[in-house]
Every structure is written in structure tokens, then in C-alpha cells.
């Protein structure tokens, strides 16, 4: 009897938790948002030195975006002009960007998950629900040493607050949006955390198309021009 009662309580608790989760499954398209990219980064002295040296040597055409180098987090929340597909389960959330074919996995607290092995562009993300808001903490990020676009070292951490809201246009059409408030903390480069925002619009008419690129193209470009990206570990 006690076992049956305990099982019923656990099932009720799990059902209540699951019902609090918001459905973010499907295909979404970038929808802009205020504060996407700060005009002035709060760089510390070390960061300013690296940025000054970078801007003196690198032209805009030398930045990696046009040379097949994927941006990773935190830059990927803007999505560029490519859709994002989300697959959500109780134990994890998968996100797949058409742009650069970037893949991200968010492990949900309370479920088994592997330990992080390597630093990657999307890092190692663990999420939990606070009411209808998905809170995600990310570590183990790969460094992004290109000083023109919100760089980060491999010691950076990120906290995101992701929610869904319905917006009604003047024509009376209601559309679902994902809002993502992302805070980057990286004491090796910045004097304070940086908060940026991204928005995605529900876009079931879109599909993920093939995107092909190679980082080797950019590495060759840098070698030919005699350029070397900043070293965060001098």
C-alpha cells in the first residue's frame, strides 16, 4: 500500500513538473531583438589590448563568418538569416541551426547525463524550468578569439533565460515567439557580465536546408595574409 502511494505521489509530482514546461518543439526563424550586440564591450585592460591589436591587423573581410568558421555561443542565439529546429524531451533539448550546421544539446536536471569532455563552440549546457522559463547554464565553451564580435575565452560561462510569448499584430494575427536573454560572464576579457537578447518566431513553413562549409578555408586565408588571431594564453 505504501509503495503504491509513493508511486502515485511521484507520478503526480512528475506530471506537475512536466505540465509546467512550455512546448518549444518545431522550427523557428530569427526575429531580431533589442540589445543583440553591445556597441561598446566592457573590456578590461587585457581585452582592450587584444582588441586594439586585432582591429589594427584585421579588416572586416578577414573576420571568420564569411570563411566558414561557426560562431558558437553566445553569438548563435541571433540565428543569422537561417532557421533553427528544436526537439524537446523531458531529459534533453536538441537545437539544430541551419547556419553552419551547428548542433546544441541541453541536458535537463534530474536526468542522467554524461560528463563534459572537450570545450566546444556550443559548450556543455544544463537546464531546468523555473515556472514557464527555461534556465540554461553553459560551461566548457571553446574560445572565440575574433575581437570584432563578442569574443570569449574558454573560461567563459553563460546563463540563459528562455521563454515563449504570444504577440498579436495590428491585423489581429497572433504568433508565438521564443525570447532568449543571455548573460555572458568572462572575467579574463570583461569587467562585468554582458547581457544580450535574441528572438525566434514560430515558423512551421520553414525547413532545414543543407549548409556546407569548412574551417580549413579560413585557416588558409589567415596563413596567406600572415595573420594570427589573439592568444588568450600568452
202 domain residue, yes or no:
yes
Q: Is residue 49 part of a domain?
A: yes
In a domain, 233, yes or no: no
What is the extent of the structural domain holding 70?
Answer: 21-225
Query: Model-level pTM?
Result: 0.84
Residue 10 lies in a domain: no
Inside any domain, residue 7 = no
What are the strands, taking DSSP E only, across the chain?
Answer: 26-30, 84-88, 92-97, 102-108, 124-130, 133-139, 157-168, 174-185, 194-202
Peptide bond into 74 cis (omega under 30): yes
Nearest Cα residue to 159 out of 187, 139, 133: 139
95 contacts 82 by C-beta, under 8 angstroms: no
DSSP string, 28-41: EEE---TTSS-SS-
Structure confidence at residue 33 as a pLDDT band (50, 70, 90): low
Model confidence pLDDT, tens digit, residues 137-180: 999 999 999 999 899 999 999 999 999 999 998 999 999 999 99
Q: What is the DSSP letter of 122?
A: S
Residue 94 in any domain: the answer is: yes
Tally the domains of the chain: 1
Amino acid at each position: 500500500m505504501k509503495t503504491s502511494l509513493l508511486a502515485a505521489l511521484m507520478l503526480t509530482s512528475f506530471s506537475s513538473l512536466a505540465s509546467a514546461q512550455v512546448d518549444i518543439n518545431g522550427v523557428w526563424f530569427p526575429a531580431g531583438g533589442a540589445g543583440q550586440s553591445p556597441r561598446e564591450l566592457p573590456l578590461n585592460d587585457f581585452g582592450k589590448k587584444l582588441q586594439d591589436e586585432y582591429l589594427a591587423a584585421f579588416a572586416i573581410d578577414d573576420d571568420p563568418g564569411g570563411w566558414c568558421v561557426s560562431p558558437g555561443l553566445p553569438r548563435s542565439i541571433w540565428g543569422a538569416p537561417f532557421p533553427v529546429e528544436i526537439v524537446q524531451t523531458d531529459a534533453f533539448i536538441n537545437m539544430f541551426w541551419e547556419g553552419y550546421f551547428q548542433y546544441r544539446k541541453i541536458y535537463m536536471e534530474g536526468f542522467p547525463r554524461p560528463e563534459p569532455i572537450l570545450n566546444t563552440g556550443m559548450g556543455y549546457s544544463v537546464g531546468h524550468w523555473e515556472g514557464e522559463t527555461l534556465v540554461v547554464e553553459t560551461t566548457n565553451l571553446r574560445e572565440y578569439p575574433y575581437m570584432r564580435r563578442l569574443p570569449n575565452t574558454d573560461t567563459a560561462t553563460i546563463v540563459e533565460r528562455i521563454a515563449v510569448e504570444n504577440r498579436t499584430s495590428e491585423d489581429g494575427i497572433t504568433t508565438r515567439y521564443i525570447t532568449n536573454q543571455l548573460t555572458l560572464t568572462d572575467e579574463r576579457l570583461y569587467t562585468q557580465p554582458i547581457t544580450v537578447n535574441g528572438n525566434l518566431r514560430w515558423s512551421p513553413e520553414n525547413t532545414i536546408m543543407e549548409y556546407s562549409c569548412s574551417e580549413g578555408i579560413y585557416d588558409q586565408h589567415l596563413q596567406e595574409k600572415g595573420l594570427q588571431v589573439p592568444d588568450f594564453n600568452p
